[in-house]
């Protein structure tokens, strides 16, 4: 509650409402329409808005908070400090019947303020979804009695009690995670950035691959992985990387769309990859009540398979497009590591400290301090008072949208819990799939992808976890497997048509066709779409989450790597349609990770390779 009392007012002071610019646009349209009418001059003068200030000072004034922004900030501070004046008594009034009128007014005000904060930070989609859930909670009793999503209905005091005073509303697990972990990791990323780590990671990536025609594509992918440790955002990594990497890819001979696909795939890998992952990973740790280090272990093998798929696709495309090595003005990798390799130390320190049973909070706090001290080794990036202030400002600004999303997600989670909607929807999903695990998993994947088209990754994961998770639990899927499945598909919504934010950002940088860029991104990231099915559908699949005997883990990883190679062959490595279809069938069989399908998959893959060799000899 204290954290939100700090963050929510900052949202109103840092993010403009956008309503004034909308009003100006409407007025200008009205002026243009009125100008076509007789006597338009007089009418236009009557409605003409005041002249906009010009120059730097004018821009600064336009960016300053308005009186309305200050009033909203003050109101949000008031409704969040009010319970803290006597928090014990506030908790005791936790039941709807015991709430005072002031409690209800404050709770309703906070709900409206949060909806406005979400609208300002991430747009209308999540705002509308939250509003629909609130309407459902209040009017659910009016739904037909034979509808499985109907409920008895709740009045305002009961809804406010659930959201404002309960532990599954505004101040539930997502907000606890934002206050405890996400803010620190965001500030850590900002400190790394201002200490020069981002520049070092890009330079190291360009220095690592020099003399291969596939080197430019590999370089971009590696740089995306390293930059992701700083940004933790797929779109941000894509944009940061694109401005530097697109000229190199263009000189190497990559067409615009494949280059955009590589940029977007490398960017989205930032959220999938240890050691930072995305905000949803912290929520997984809280839901499972395990350490964050354990979640990192869950993600390790799928991440390796993800990048294996990208590198194989890049190797195939370098031959198909006839790309070539590009000389890059960068120091040698060894010299860079000797001079700036200390930037890796804080990342390694986080993992080491968590392995020594330190909490993620302690680990990242110590790593941030280490990154700050090490910055003084580079005179150009010393973290003096000014740079420290800039890093703290950057980290704070980046965490504000996540905080708003986590608080708003509490509205959805609270309503789902109060009305029993989660279990009802889980029953519907299982019934639609007739109790079949494969069909249930397919429906779950589609549902998460569709949800991800409208809301950010963190909100998408939280909503899907409470709705789709129980459907998978009913069919015997463990919590770890179910939550990781939902996590991957929530992340992959950023590269899934028709929105695919990372691909759209990449297309804007390369100037390529947006849809074709989306499809190329989908091709590069295909292993990430299929591997999650492996650890949900088969008993041996848990080995891909580092669960089980080490021998089984290594064997299943090797089999999955062959499956990823077969996918690469199916999507571009083989020239004929028959062998591509055979390679695709082999990949699916191998991902069942059971003895008979594995043998069958290897046999089909061998046939695909044989058909390819025969066809090649005939055409030679």
Name the E strands within 142-278: none
* Domain match, 263 and 396 both: yes
* Domain match, 240 and 344 both: yes
pLDDT in the model for residue 370: 93
Cβ contacts of 547 within 8 Å, gap of 6 or more: 480, 553
Are 145 and 425 in contact by the 8 Å Cβ rule? The answer is no
CA distance 487 to 258: 26
pLDDT in the model for residue 7: 93
User: In residues, how long is the chain?
Assistant: 620
pLDDT in the model for residue 538: 87
- The answer to whether residue 34 is domain-embedded is no
DSSP tag of 48 = P
Residue where a domain stops, chosen among 158, 173, 188: 173
More confident residue, 482 or 498: 482
Lowest pLDDT segment from 21-25, 67-71, 252-256, 486-490: 21-25
Q: What is the pLDDT of residues 156-168, one digit of tens each?
A: 888 988 898 877 8
Mean pLDDT of 412-441: 85
* Domain match, 189 and 75 both: no
Alpha helix segments (H runs only) across 455-513 = 457-474, 479-492, 501-510
Q: What is the pLDDT of residues 523-581, one digit of tens each?
A: 888 888 888 999 898 889 899 999 989 999 999 999 999 999 999 888 876 667 888 89
Cβ contacts of 209 within 8 Å, gap of 6 or more: 215, 216, 218, 219, 222
- The answer to whether residue 536 is domain-embedded is no
Torsion sign across C-alpha atoms 197, 199, 204, 209? positive
Q: What is the pLDDT of residues 256-291, one digit of tens each?
A: 999 999 988 888 887 787 776 777 788 888 888 888
pLDDT in the model for residue 59: 36
Measured CA distances, 77 to 80, 83, 106, 146 (Å): 5, 11, 11, 43
Residue 430 corresponds to which tokens in the numbers above? Answer: 């299982």
CA distance 137 to 285: 29
Q: Is 341 helix (H, G, I), strand (E, B) or coil?
A: coil
Residue 172 has pLDDT above 80, yes or no: yes
In which band, very low, low, confident or very high, does the pLDDT at 466 lie, cut at 50, 70 and 90? confident
In which band, very low, low, confident or very high, does the pLDDT at 197 lie, cut at 50, 70 and 90? confident
* Domain match, 313 and 382 both: yes
- The answer to whether residue 52 is domain-embedded is no
Residue 441 has pLDDT above 60, yes or no: yes
Q: 23 exposed, middle or buried (CB, 10 Å; 0-12, 13-18, 19+)?
A: exposed
Mean pLDDT of 391-405: 89
* Domain match, 292 and 161 both: no
User: How many CA atoms, within 13 angstroms, populate the side-chain half-sphere of residue 270?
Assistant: 31
Q: Is 260 helix (H, G, I), strand (E, B) or coil?
A: helix
Name the E strands within 3-144: none
* Domain match, 336 and 200 both: yes
What is the C-alpha end-to-end distance of the chain, expressed in Å? Answer: 71
Q: Would you tell me how many other CB atoms lie within 10 Å of the CB of residue 423?
A: 17
In which band, very low, low, confident or very high, does the pLDDT at 499 lie, cut at 50, 70 and 90? low
- Cα angle vertex 574, ends 572, 575, to 5°? 95
More confident residue, 72 or 252: 72
Residue 113 has pLDDT above 90, yes or no: yes
pLDDT in the model for residue 34: 38
- The answer to whether residue 464 is domain-embedded is no
Distance of CA 170 to the CA centre of its chain: 21
* Domain match, 94 and 233 both: no
Residue 318 has pLDDT above 90, yes or no: no
CA distance 393 to 78: 24
Q: What is the pLDDT of residues 368-391, one digit of tens each?
A: 999 999 999 988 889 999 999 999
* Domain match, 398 and 269 both: yes
Residue where a domain stops, chosen among 382, 403, 424: 403
What is the full DSSP assignment across 69-87? Answer: HHHHHHHHHHHHHTGGGGH
pLDDT in the model for residue 58: 36
- The answer to whether residue 514 is domain-embedded is no
Residue where a domain stops, chosen among 339, 369, 403: 403
CA distance 94 to 108: 15
pLDDT in the model for residue 556: 94
* Domain match, 166 and 186 both: no
Lowest pLDDT segment from 150-159, 225-234, 421-430: 225-234
* Domain match, 147 and 165 both: yes
* Domain match, 2 and 106 both: yes
More confident residue, 331 or 559: 559
CA distance 269 to 234: 7
- The answer to whether residue 367 is domain-embedded is yes
Count of domains for the chain: 3
Write out the residue range of the structural domain in which residue 143 sits: 1-15+67-173
- The answer to whether residue 410 is domain-embedded is no
* Domain match, 203 and 124 both: no
In which band, very low, low, confident or very high, does the pLDDT at 19 lie, cut at 50, 70 and 90? low
- The answer to whether residue 1 is domain-embedded is yes
């Amino acid at each position: 509650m204290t954290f939100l009392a700090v963050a929510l007012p900052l949202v109103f002071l840092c993010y403009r409402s956008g309503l004034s610019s909308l009003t100006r646009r409407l007025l200008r349209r009205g002026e243009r329409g009125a100008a076509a009418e007789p006597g338009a001059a007089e009418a236009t003068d009557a409605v003409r808005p005041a002249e906009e200030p010009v120059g730097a000072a004018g821009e600064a004034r336009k960016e300053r908070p308005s009186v309305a922004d200050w009033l909203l900030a003050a109101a949000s501070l008031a409704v969040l400090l009010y319970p803290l004046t006597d928090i014990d008594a506030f908790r005791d009034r936790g039941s709807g019947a015991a709430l005072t009128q002031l409690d209800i007014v404050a709770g309703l005000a906070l709900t409206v303020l949060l909806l406005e904060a979400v609208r300002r930070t991430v747009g209308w989609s999540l705002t509308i979804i939250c509003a629909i859930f609130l309407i459902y909670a209040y009017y659910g009793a009016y739904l037909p009695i034979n509808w499985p999503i109907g409920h008895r209905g709740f009045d305002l005091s009961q809804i406010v009690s659930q959201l404002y005073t309960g532990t599954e509303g505004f101040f539930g697990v997502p907000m606890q995670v934002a206050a405890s972990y996400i803010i620190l990791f965001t500030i850590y990323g900002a400190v790394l950035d201002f200490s020069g780590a981002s520049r070092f990671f890009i330079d190291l990536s360009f220095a690592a691959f020099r003399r291969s025609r596939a080197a430019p594509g590999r370089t971009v992918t590696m740089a995306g992985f390293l930059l992701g440790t700083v940004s933790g955002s797929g779109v941000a990594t894509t944009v940061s990387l694109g401005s530097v990497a697109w000229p190199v890819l263009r000189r190497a001979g990559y067409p615009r769309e494949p280059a955009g696909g590589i940029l977007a795939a490398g960017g989205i890998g930032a959220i999938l990859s240890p050691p930072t992952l995305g905000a949803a990973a912290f929520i997984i740790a809280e839901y499972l009540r395990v350490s964050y280090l354990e979640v990192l272990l869950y993600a390790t093998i799928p991440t390796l398979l993800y990048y294996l798929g990208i590198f194989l696709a890049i190797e195939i495309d370098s031959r198909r497009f006839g790309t070539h090595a590009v000389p890059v003005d960068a120091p040698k990798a060894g010299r860079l590591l000797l001079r700036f390799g200390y930037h890796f130390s804080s990342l390694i320190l986080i993992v080491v400290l968590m392995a020594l049973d330190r909490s993620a909070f302690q680990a990242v706090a110590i790593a941030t301090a280490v990154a700050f001290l090490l910055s003084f080794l580079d005179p150009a990036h010393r973290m003096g008072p000014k740079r420290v202030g800039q890093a703290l400002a950057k980290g704070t600004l980046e965490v504000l949208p996540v905080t708003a999303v986590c608080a708003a997600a509490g509205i959805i989670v609270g309503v789902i819990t109060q009305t029993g909607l989660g279990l009802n929807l889980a029953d519907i999903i299982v019934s639609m799939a007739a109790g079949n695990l494969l069909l249930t998993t397919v429906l779950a994947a589609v549902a998460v992808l569709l949800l991800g088209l409208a809301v950010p990754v963190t909100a998408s994961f939280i909503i899907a976890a409470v709705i789709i998770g129980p459907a998978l639990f009913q069919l015997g899927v463990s919590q770890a497997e179910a939550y990781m499945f939902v996590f991957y598909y929530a992340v992959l919504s950023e590269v899934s048509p028709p929105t695919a934010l990372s691909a759209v950002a990449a297309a804007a940088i390369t100037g390529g066709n947006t849809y074709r860029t989306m499809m190329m991104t989908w091709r590069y990231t295909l292993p990430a779409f299929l591997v999650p099915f492996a650890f949900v559908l088969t008993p041996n699949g848990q080995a891909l989450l580092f669960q089980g005997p080490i021998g089984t883990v290594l064997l299943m990883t090797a089999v999955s790597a062959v499956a990823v190679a077969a996918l690469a062959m199916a999507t571009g490595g083989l020239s004929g349609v028959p062998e591509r279809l055979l390679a695709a069938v082999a990949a699916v069989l191998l991902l069942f990770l059971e003895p008979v399908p594995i043998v069958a998959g290897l046999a089909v893959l061998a046939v695909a390779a044989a058909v390819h060799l025969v066809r090649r000899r005939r055409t030679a």
